[in-house]
Chains A and B, each alone.
Chain A
Amino acid sequence: MAKIKLKDLVKNYDKVEVLHHVEGEFQDGEFIVIVGPSGCGKSTLLRMVAGLETVTSGEIFIGDKLVNDLEPADRDIAMVFQNYALYPHMTVRQNMAYGLKIRKISAFEIDRRVNEAADILEIRDYLDRKPRQLSGGQRQRVAMGRAIVRDPQVFLFDEPLSNLDAKLRVQMRLEIKKLQRKLGVTSIYVTHDQVEAMTLGDRLMVLNGGYVEQFGTPIDLYDKPASVFVAGFIGSPAMNFVPTELKNGKVALPGGTTIDVASKGAGEVVLGIRPEHLVANDKGAIEIEAEMFEQLGANTLVHGHLKGTTHPFVASVPGHVSNESGTVMRFDAPKEQVHLFDKSTEKRLED
């Protein structure tokens, strides 16, 4: 159990900088999720903490120890890989015990720890099987068991659920969260799935193109996204964006109507509003020409575009709604749910 500190971290591959001055301080016992689209450098960042990638410049501290030049084994970490990376020729028990054996821990103690971890993960029944005799979910548990027996200061997860089917993923997600709570071990979890990120993380670090876009609690990111990128990435279905102009506390919509916003500034802006925040209202300012209706059961997604333009727009309406294609539906956007971003920098405009 330890704090982790990233100081001005930079990573180059052959002179191309892929991570740009990443800063971050993770508290003891915190569950940090690093999230971003593929190629944003999130796995690289995790692997740098693990010691599998060298650090070009900057510093990584685990606890109070500078670990830049330490071998992975000396960093007191455990890692769960995307494809589990279990040793195929060893039984589950041997897989879990291997790291301990190398550390020359007594056979008795190894046995105790393996059994304890097996009990936590409910994999006791197949301790003597080989990985290839296990299902994906079971292998996943073994991979976690291998991390637990090490009793490390930090858990590192590299997209551990992406090889599982949807249902199992939801179930394992919950289990990982529970397990982390129970053990209280500082964890860094990398994923490209924003739902996974929102549900698991105490705090989320959103990476985009090697830059940290925003670092905060899931609710922070949802309520106050720092940039267009974060706003579009967090939340599903994604936020609607309309480029427009801000003047006198109002923004103009392409259809000629205006909506009130909290901001007092002026200039070119990007207006953002989440589909679930649109309120159906016959006199509403936002007119959507509906094209398609996606019935999700509890609510309906209305896909369409702003009337008179080709701007795609999505609204989420409670209950079952099904109109003909081409119907115009009107919505209100509550003032406090409207996000404004500067058009050139794409950064959030403060209220």
Chain B
Amino acid sequence: MVENRPILNVVTHLVLILGIAMVALPIWITFVAATHDEARMLQAPLPLLPGGYFFENFKQTFLGSGLSGSETAPVWRMLLNSLFMALMIAFGKIAISLLSAFAIVYFKFPFRMGFFWMIFITLMLPVEVRILPTFEVVADLGLLNSYWGLSIPLIASATATFMFRQVFLTIPDEMLESARIDGAKPMRFFVDILIPLSRTNIAALFVILFIYGWNQYLWPLLITTDTDMTTIVMSIKQMLEAAEQSPQWNIIMMTALLAMIPPVFVVIAMQKLFVQGLTETDK
């Protein structure tokens, strides 16, 4: 589209601006709400311009006990918990799926396709479906209220295995043969050739999986009872339901704002690789 058509330009810009406004407005309101005091947030109409309580709110939320009158961990602790969980899930999933895809694509062993389909079928069983037996297992292993318990049950991933399988299938066989002639043993080939070649796909998957891990709600809610182990996503919800209180929107919104920062940071940092990983076909 190289033609110069001013009216079309105006229209396309209008549509884009409208789209951005729709996405940005809730975030703006979150930000505004985080800068007022508690009393102002309970009055109508909702403020649309920032107030002067940003740092007070920030201090109380991030370092203090957060919601007054309830026993939650300080938000920095929750952020750290969420970060650990999300990172463990993302790295764990990537490591496990890389290895299983490697096995399925490059090794011939009995029932290879059987195993592949077994992994593939688990796509149909999300965490919610198998949550009771999983809880039982984790509880029996004594992993309640631990980072291991938060992350391990979520690590197995059919989607990522399938994706890496597809990536490996696009790598020409000659690459393997060439490495064999060069004397590379399987794990050496995996580390020296396969992983660098799927670098962009790993980055793309990392972004997706980090956000998946970060947004986990149901599972952490089930297995953490200790306030020191709560994650930020579940506690936002808990704050809303704090008993016998009107919601303290300023604190809740500040928490939400803080909860947004790490995923945004991950996306920005990985953006270039992420886009390459999703669009690149040339090997």
Contacts and interface: CB of A to CB of B under 8 A. Distances in A.
A83 to B, nearest CB: 6
Contacts of B283: 88
Interface residues of B, number: 18
A87 B193 contact: yes
A103 interface: yes
Given A87-B193, A89-B196, A98-B192, A81 B178 contact: yes
A134 interface: no
B188 A87 contact: no
A190 interface: no
B177 interface: yes
B174 A73 contact: no
A88 B25 CA distance: 45
Interface string A72-101: 111001110111011111000000001100
A98 B177 contact: no
Contact of B180 (A73, A82, A87, A88): A73
A89 B197 contact: yes
B261 interface: no
Interface in A24-77: 50-52, 71-74, 77
Contacts of B179: 87, 98
Contacts of B126: none
Contacts, number: 57
Interface in B147-188: 172, 174-175, 177-184, 188
A103 B183 CA distance: 7
B172 A99 contact: no
Nearest to B184: A102
Most buried by B among A78, A79, A82, A103: A79
B183 A85 contact: no
Contact of A72 (B180, B196, B199): B180
Contact of A85 (B174, B188, B197): B174
Contact of B188 (A72, A83, A102): A102
B172 A83 contact: yes
B177 A88 contact: no
A71 B174 contact: no
A147 to B, nearest CB: 9
Interface residues of A, number: 22
Contacts of B193: 87, 89
Contacts of B199: 89
A50 B174 CA distance: 13
Contacts of B182: 73, 98-99, 102
Contact of A77 (B178, B181, B188, B192): B181
A86 B172 CA distance: 11
Interface string A267-283: 00000000000000000
A72 B174 contact: no
A85 B177 contact: yes
A89 B180 CA distance: 17
Contacts of A79: 177-178, 181
Contacts of B177: 50, 52, 72, 79, 81, 85
Contacts of B178: 79, 81, 85-87
Nearest to B192: A98
A88 B184 CA distance: 16
19 contacts: A50-B181, A52-B177, A52-B181, A71-B180, A72-B180, A73-B181, A73-B182, A78-B181, A79-B178, A82-B174, A85-B178, A87-B175, A88-B197, A89-B196, A98-B179, A99-B182, A102-B184, A102-B188, A103-B183
- Closest 3 CB pairs between A and B? A73-B183, A85-B174, A99-B182
Interface of B: 172, 174-175, 177-184, 188, 192-193, 196-197, 199, 283
